[in-house]
Structure 1
């Protein structure tokens, strides 16, 4: 099945590069270039196969044909709510509900985001390979990018590594936070656990979290904050905020106080990134889910909103 066809007009500036050099600069990985090289007419110029070592000339048109026979057959299509914030032929941006894992795992075979996306593709009569680009914990809600083919996955994964996908979160935390804070503390696994994380100055990985207080509820002693991450460590926001005395209420791992909410009130509110194919700048926001929004009206809003 053909998933994507692209063409590139070779400019005088591009001339003199090999096909592989040209494609690598466009964000294609070496693995993807090899896949195209091994696909009949995956790379072509003038209806003839173009070898990856071919030296490009001005005015040539390089055609790329992405074909995928692979299918995520092990993911069971399940009819579940799926909130789509944006879709085109290259990417899918979804607003994940709280309580929904993003991948099947032991005990979660048919109730994950992957199952919902599989059902969606099946309803369209399309083949399906599940490629979630950013990760969200099961009880964290909000925006998540899914690549619809190999090229999108390749380029977006590279953007993640280079920290070019900018993520902004909203959270409700215990206590009155400073108006602004930067938490710069390494995070590592807690001894004897594959799940828990902790601040680990000896073996932890660098982690930096910026936060701004948007408002404060004096009666409940809760702050509503926005956060921006420089790194993407497992449980980073939850561990960092707990480490400075402002844990997320309802967090079953780090602060299981469920008086106000039954899960950690953490929401992937905004994503800014470059479209993996067109190069357009994209920006998306997602409203707070109901359980978080129900708390915010009780919080006096600051001018930062």
Structure 2
């Protein structure tokens, strides 16, 4: 977890030192990065794709040709190879990169300034347009809230949570912020804590360190697979019930469906999870109130409760917490009341 004090002013996020060109006339931002030595021997266009992954290779190559990219102050060709340690300056020209339509969808804004936005996403809201959900998403809502976000990759969205998961999400409002937050995610410097209710009574907390990849037969699902990507989930018990457990989950990595897959893998699937939780079963000794709550709870019991990061401009550590939404809070109350029967 990151240190919750002001960071060293000399610190660079993964060797980035990003500054913004203040000229509105040219609508441009100047981004700088120091080439890591592990990229030594790589072509300039390949290194740019690694360092500025939110831009297509076509755009990056066009900027190289137009002289918007310099290496230690010199313009190079896309095929020129790097030695590592060079300073790259990219003058990223602002242009529309998002073609989705703005939609007047209410946003629960937790924090906002000129470079950063934090929202509390309700369960049921898709973060980004995709097959089956081309509109009515958080991205559409963001474009209505701030039309300038159409010039940022994915309208400034740097991470996602599942449609039926509620909780805190960060959105960059400038290219500088987008690069900073992306690098913090890659360097595992973002604090992300979740609250969840699982099926089954846990005896203790622990850590799941298992790789996650696409399910071998169902491409819409993920699974623990030897050939998958490194994934680490820490969890601790907050309250135990007869057949359920209320837990706090800390993500060390951020793979798709990570918490849901890892909890199912250790045989404590999230309550209400239609994909990884198996067939619904009413637990024994279940009172009328709890039975009603369980039958009416139609999503995975997962809430992104805490988010912490280094501010992309001031480098100050900021942290937000958001309480459980009503549906999870009522479910937890019913579980607690059932224990007292």
Q: Do both proteins adopt the same fold according to a TM-score greater than 0.5, normalized to the shorter chain?
A: yes
TM norm structure 2: 0.68
Cα deviation for residue 253 of structure 1 reads 0.6
> Which of 227, 239, 244 is the matching residue for 1:222?
244
Query: What does residue 305 of structure 2 align with?
Result: 269
> How far does the alpha carbon of each residue in 1:247-304 deviate from its partner, in whole angstroms, 9 at most, with x for none?
1121111115363510001111111110111111110111211111111223449xxx
> How far does the alpha carbon of each residue in 1:174-233 deviate from its partner, in whole angstroms, 9 at most, with x for none?
111123111122222111222111122x31222221111111233xx2211100111112
What is the rounded CA distance, in whole Å, between the counterparts of 2:223 and 2:149 in structure 1? Answer: 42
Task: Tell me, yes or no, if structure 1 residue 286 matches structure 2 residue 338.
Answer: no
> How far does the alpha carbon of each residue in 1:155-191 deviate from its partner, in whole angstroms, 9 at most, with x for none?
1111111101121011011111123111122222111
> Which stretches of structure 1, 4 residues or more, deviate above 6 A after TM superposition?
none
> How far does the alpha carbon of each residue in 1:122-174 deviate from its partner, in whole angstroms, 9 at most, with x for none?
4xx87653021122111111111111111111111111111011210110111
Query: What does residue 238 of structure 1 align with?
Result: 260
TM norm structure 1: 0.75
Query: What does residue 15 of structure 1 align with?
Result: none
Counterpart mapping for 1:28-107 below 5 A: 31=52, 53=72, 68-72=94-98, 74-107=99-132
Instruction: Decide whether the 8 Å contact of 1:198 with 1:239 is kept in 2.
Output: yes
Instruction: Decide whether the 8 Å contact of 2:207 with 2:233 is kept in 1.
Output: yes
What is the rounded CA distance, in whole Å, between the counterparts of 1:119 and 1:96 in structure 2? Answer: 16
> Which of 212, 217, 231 is the matching residue for 1:187?
212
What is the rounded CA distance, in whole Å, between the counterparts of 1:186 and 1:179 in structure 2? Answer: 22
What is the rounded CA distance, in whole Å, between the counterparts of 2:212 and 2:91 in structure 1? Answer: 42
More helix by share: 2
What is the rounded CA distance, in whole Å, between the counterparts of 1:105 and 1:54 in structure 2? Answer: 41
How many residues are aligned here? 264
What is the rounded CA distance, in whole Å, between the counterparts of 1:147 and 1:111 in structure 2? Answer: 20
What is the rounded CA distance, in whole Å, between the counterparts of 1:94 and 1:75 in structure 2? Answer: 20
Query: What does residue 48 of structure 1 align with?
Result: none
> How far does the alpha carbon of each residue in 1:15-58 deviate from its partner, in whole angstroms, 9 at most, with x for none?
xxxxx9x9426xx99559x89x98x9x99xxxxxxx76459xxx
Query: What does residue 170 of structure 1 align with?
Result: 195
Cα deviation for residue 71 of structure 1 reads 4.8
Instruction: Decide whether the 8 Å contact of 1:4 with 1:65 is kept in 2.
Output: no
- 5+ residue gaps, structure 1, are 8-19, 44-50, 56-63
The DSSP-based 3-state class of the residue aligned with 1:294 is helix
> How far does the alpha carbon of each residue in 1:91-122 deviate from its partner, in whole angstroms, 9 at most, with x for none?
11111111111111122122110011111124
- 5+ residue gaps, structure 2, are 1-18, 24-29, 35-47, 75-89, 281-293
Instruction: Decide whether the 8 Å contact of 1:239 with 1:254 is kept in 2.
Output: yes
Instruction: Decide whether the 8 Å contact of 1:172 with 1:266 is kept in 2.
Output: yes
Instruction: Decide whether the 8 Å contact of 2:269 with 2:276 is kept in 1.
Output: yes
Q: 1:94 to 1:204 in 2, by over 3 A?
A: same
